[in-house]
Structure 1
Amino acid sequence: MNQKIAFGVLSAALALPMAAHASDGTITFNGAIEAQTCTISVNGGNQDATVQLPTVSASTLSTKGSTAGATNFTIALSECSGDATQVRAFFEAGPNVDGTSGNLNNNGAATLVQVQLLNADGVALKAGDESQRSYAATALTDGAATMIYGAQYYATGAATAGDVQTSVTYSIDYL
């Protein structure tokens, strides 16, 4: 009896139409890797740096959306080789980045406060968001450029006193 059932199932399976596969086209991917190299410094130091924000009163950050302590910093490139004529920094998404606001979450004792990145015009940048790439790039002249950015405290509520500490990874777009 089992052999009859097995034979019946096998016969039915062989009677089903077979799927046909055909090659409909080819997609070719082309690109280039540029040997763009520059010496990078942040605020005159090396490429890894600390930007010290000023001490501010918690009362200046008492309501959601309030900001304080705007501080500029520079990312300077020198000794650049390659064909790029413009550059800009791109602040990457990472473990310290708030996925909604693009601000940097605080790892210090102060609460309800983030660090907000700014472009040279004081416009907020969202770390990890491609919209950063819509802002003007900086001209690379004679293999050098200095890009100006800023950072400030940003209240997500009534901030409390304590240290603020966070970080962000950046990369350089060569255009």
Structure 2
Amino acid sequence: MNKTLISTALVAVVAAIGFAPTAQAAGGTITISGKVLADTCVVAVNGGSTVALPTVMTAALNTVGSVAGATNFSIGLTGCDTNTTSATMAFSGANINSTTGNLNNTAVSGSNVQVQLLNGASVINTSNNANAPVIAVAAGAGTASLKAQYIAATAAATPGLVSSTVNFTLTYL
């Protein structure tokens, strides 16, 4: 008798749970937007492709951290899709010094200096792209004004030639 009573009670509880009202979460809306741009802008570095640093004396770079020969240059964008609002620069290449973020000198028998890039007064770390410029683009064009300079990054400068390159990519928004 007890087994029948327990079985009947269990069936009643299960049935009550099965028919109990359930809570439901409210629905929502997912809104998606985007932008499809035409091909990339036309890019010009300093109106060409070379930034020529001035000749400096080793005395100007005689202590670690000293800089000399700051030279302005520009990255110009033209022919951009008119829906483009900005372009973010990112640097890459084998000449980037991963410790300092400067550019290593690749000239044969060259000076031991490195080349440092600046965005305004801020040093650009080309290794992690800290302070890399974001170029404002309006009516299909934009410009970033940068500087390049020598830096005695690890020791006082030795005499010699200086040459370096760095690649950059632009991400358009």
TM-score range for the pair, normalised by the shorter chain length: 0.7 to 0.9
Letter in 2 for 1:79: G
Alignment partner, residue 144 of structure 1: 141
- Residues 72-121 of structure 1: CA distance to partner in whole angstroms, max 9, x if unpaired? 111100110163211232222x21110111100001233331000110x2
Letter in 1 for 2:101: G
RMSD: 2.0
Unpaired runs of at least 5, structure 2: 1-33
**Is residue 171 of structure 1 aligned with residue 169 of structure 2?**
yes
Matches within 5 A, 1:98-109: 98-108=97-107, 109=109
Alignment partner of 2:131: what SS? helix
> Number of residues paired by the alignment?
138
2:145 and 2:54 map into 1 onto residues whose CA distance is 18
1:79 and 1:32 map into 2 onto residues whose CA distance is 17
Structure 1 ranges of 4+ moved more than 6 A: none
**Is residue 160 of structure 1 aligned with residue 163 of structure 2?**
no
- Residues 57-83 of structure 1: CA distance to partner in whole angstroms, max 9, x if unpaired? 011001110000001111100110163
Alignment partner of 1:118: what SS? strand
**Is residue 37 of structure 1 aligned with residue 40 of structure 2?**
yes
Q: What displacement does 1:34 show?
A: 4.6
- Matched-pair contact (CA < 8 Å) for 1:98–1:104: yes
Unpaired runs of at least 5, structure 1: 1-30
Matches within 5 A, 1:1-175: 34-45=37-48, 49-81=49-81, 83-92=83-92, 94-108=93-107, 109-119=109-119, 121-132=120-131, 137-155=134-152, 156-175=154-173
Letter in 2 for 1:148: S
Alignment partner, residue 4 of structure 1: none
